[in-house]
Structure 1
Amino acid sequence: MTSPGGLQAAAKGRDARAHFATSERFDPDNFTDADWAALSDTWASLGADAQLAGSAGPDGLIDDDVAYAAPWGFDLAAVTAPVLLVQGGEDRVVPPSHADRLLPRLRRAELWLRPGDGHISVLDACAPAMDWLKTHST
């Protein structure tokens, strides 16, 4: 799972992020009680998939972080499609400030801040988010 230190290393390039991975340890405090409950129920398969991916080594996480920390190659203001940002107010992995930063840069964005949700529990918004996407598709 991405950590602030991991993203700082990723901003310096893949080699720096890979080096950081050698000392990185999973911090269970990154997940809220609501996240752990979701992982033991509705999102148990996601947790199993993440464990399986992690057991294959850190390359996927490293590549994700490097891609996330690098310029995306387009101007967010040029996005014309409707965008729904769904953010857990208690997310300790991707903080609400990330959505706050994206929202004004996307012309047709809407933010659903879910104050009691964390990084995993916010996924319970998937069904209503799909409804939103269906009604806002162009």
Structure 2
Amino acid sequence: MNKNERKLILLSVLLWLASLPCEVFPGYIGMEVLVLGTLFGWMVGIGYFAVYANPVYAVLLVQGWFGRGGKAVRVSLLAVMWGLALLTFTLDKIIVSEAPTYVSAAYGAGLYLWFAALAVATVASIRGWRQTDSRLPEQTVCRIRK
């Protein structure tokens, strides 16, 4: 891994951290969505599964930072991460109380920062495997003795 990839990973982490105090949905900041969604998202509906893209994102970053995992593993993680993250857009209403009371889904800055963090992590991952694929193995020279 070179310095540019590490810079991209750090930028992705900073964007992700910046999304936590920002409003994601009406009445919910990123930290609330992360905690409540992780604990209870599986009980509510398919759109709430988007929060589970965060652990996949974390694994992708760790593999990218330490240079672990091959191209197939990274592609699989990216596919799962984006598949889960895009489930956000299946939400047409958000639960705002246990009554249950719903409001229509509106997206705040936190959601856009979160998607930006995922996009930067994707670019870092693609750069990582492009550079590892471009390195050719050392060629051995065979000499034939007569």
| TM > 0.5 fold call | no
Instruction: Pick the structure with more helix per residue.
Output: 2
Question: Could you say which structure has the greater relative contact order, defined with CA pairs below 8 angstroms and 6 or more residues apart?
Answer: 2
The TM-score with structure 1 as length reference comes to: 0.25
The TM-score with structure 2 as length reference comes to: 0.24
Choose 1 or 2 for highest CA Rg. Answer: 2
